[in-house]
Structure 1
Amino acid sequence: MHTGQDPVDTDVVVGAEANSDTAAGNDPGTGRGFGTEPVGEPGTDPDQRGAAESNRHSNGGEAPGDPTGDSGSRLWGGTTLAARRQARRTALLEAALDLIGEAGAAAVTMRAVCRRAGLTDRYFYESFTGRDDLLDTLYRQVADEFLDPMTAFAAAADPDRDRLVAAALVDKVLDDPRKSRLFLVEPYSSTGLGQTTIAVMPAFTRLLQDHLFRHITDPDQRRLAAVTMAAGNAGMFSAWLGGSLKAGRAQIVDHIVAVLTAYRSMYRD
């Protein structure tokens, strides 16, 4: 459990363990803190100062030079504390995606992510409690990116809806190999994603139940079709991305449309 204090990390972060900028939480090699904060005297890290000033304000004091007492909205080097934190969080998530794209979720460790992002571990713990928390956050974010366009097409009253949904899904799979690997391949090989996958997948089965299979009147049959198709598609895409299934984009789209049609025919009254 993270205690709020910076853990001791003997790892070399961006090859600059002994560098005073790194020790101060600044961007190595630039002489400036992440988010364009200039390097100050020891103890003048603007983010650390902002937290201290915020604490003083909560105890009845007022942060120097901050008439509102809201240190999170104060500018330093043209950006607020909240904006700098969000930028660091985004950098850590992108670094994790890069590692997943190169070597899978097993390559994602706190030290590897920090090294790739050019940040120290204290900034990692600013956003995440640990590796599993980062992977959970990233997986849910990617799942939403897959679900949103599919839902938009599935909810539309378009005679070619099945093909539009299938094409949206396939195009999303092809759009960013890093995200597709995380979402469709890594759950089969990474124990750290098992519970997250279980929590996320019902949203995809509900999409099938509520829109694409809504004409199947029996609720048990409707759910059976939705769960089976969702799991089958996940396995198909995993094999496709892994190279063991040889098929083109058009073939995959046609297959999804055919399976949707087959399930409806199977359970037609």
Structure 2
Amino acid sequence: MRLVDAGIAITGTEGVAGLGMRAVCREAGLSQKFFYESFTDIDELLHAVYAATLARLEEEIGPAVSARDLPGVFDAAARLMEADPRVCRILLIEPVADARLRRHVRDTIPAITIAALGDLAAGSPADPAVRMRFSALFGALISLFVEWTEGSLGSDRAAFVRHVCGVATQLVPQLGVRPR
């Protein structure tokens, strides 16, 4: 876990470009031997860093997802990214910048979306129309959350959440928003 934590620290502050085996071992205070006992290469660690960060987000938003509380989902995500901007960088910025991570995310996002949205994600993730709809949604969400995390959209989280919900329901109307 120390190697993954070190990978999160490096990727969350320096980006994927700073993630190297020596840098991770130095950050974790471990020898390179431990790296190779845990991971076959840096790509495997990068996927573990992404998965651990995604699991943290899923834990934060889980109760709101279960309650089908879309504003609660976005509020929990915004709170987490306010508290730890590394989450935004790892989950939203780096997959756009790094082709290896982007391919990994592209392969995992449809399953995550279906799991989180259930029957609200009408259609199959194999359907190009469904993928385009969710690609548009994710693009908008990425942009909004990056700007929010960087502080350029003000500090009113409630207004931010209302706006994000409005964008999400315009792009994917079947999401709907229940009043809070």
TM range (shorter): 0.7 to 0.9
Contact 1:181 1:241 (C-alpha < 8 Å) held by counterparts: no
Equivalents in 1 of 2:60, 2:149: separation in Å? 20
Please state if 1:195 is matched with 2:106.
no
Equivalents in 1 of 2:32, 2:115: separation in Å? 39
Identify the residue that residue 52 of structure 2 maps to in structure 1.
141
CA apart distance, 1:208: 6.1
The one-letter code of the counterpart of 2:163 is H
Equivalents in 2 of 1:92, 1:119: separation in Å? 8
CA apart distance, 1:151: 4.1
CA apart distance, 1:186: 0.8
Identify the residue that residue 246 of structure 1 maps to in structure 2.
153
Identify the residue that residue 173 of structure 2 maps to in structure 1.
264
Identify the residue that residue 22 of structure 2 maps to in structure 1.
111
Instruction: Name the SS of the counterpart of 2:79 in structure 1.
Output: helix
Please state if 1:171 is matched with 2:79.
yes
Q: 1 or 2 for the larger relative contact order (CA 8 Å, sep ≥6)?
A: 2
- CA 1:153 to 1:121, structure 2 compared with 1: closer, same or farther past 3 Å? same
The one-letter code of the counterpart of 1:142 is T
Equivalents in 2 of 1:242, 1:174: separation in Å? 9
With normalisation by structure 2, the TM-score equals 0.77
Contact 1:208 1:226 (C-alpha < 8 Å) held by counterparts: no
Name stretches of at least 5 consecutive residues in structure 2 with no aligned partner. Answer: none
CA apart distance, 1:238: 2.9
With normalisation by structure 1, the TM-score equals 0.54
C-alpha offsets along residues 7-66 of structure 1, whole Å, 9 cap, x if unaligned? Answer: xxxxxxxxxxxxxxxxxxxxxxxxxxxxxxxxxxxxxxxxxxxxxxxxxxxxxxxxxxxx
Structure with greater helix percent: 2
CA apart distance, 1:167: 0.9
Please state if 1:97 is matched with 2:8.
yes
- CA 1:116 to 1:151, structure 2 compared with 1: closer, same or farther past 3 Å? closer
Equivalents in 1 of 2:32, 2:169: separation in Å? 51
- Which of the residues 138, 145, 148 maps onto 1:237? 145
- CA 1:202 to 1:148, structure 2 compared with 1: closer, same or farther past 3 Å? farther
- CA 1:208 to 1:98, structure 2 compared with 1: closer, same or farther past 3 Å? closer
Which structure 2 residues correspond to residues 10-159 of structure 1 after superposition, within 5 A? Answer: 90-156=1-67
Contact 1:162 1:260 (C-alpha < 8 Å) held by counterparts: no
Contact 1:150 1:169 (C-alpha < 8 Å) held by counterparts: yes
- CA 1:191 to 1:247, structure 2 compared with 1: closer, same or farther past 3 Å? same
Contact 1:99 1:108 (C-alpha < 8 Å) held by counterparts: yes
The one-letter code of the counterpart of 1:264 is P
- Which of the residues 179, 186, 190 maps onto 2:94? 186
Larger radius of gyration: 1
Instruction: Name the SS of the counterpart of 2:67 in structure 1.
Output: coil
Determine what percentage of the aligned residue pairs are the same residue.
28
The one-letter code of the counterpart of 1:228 is A
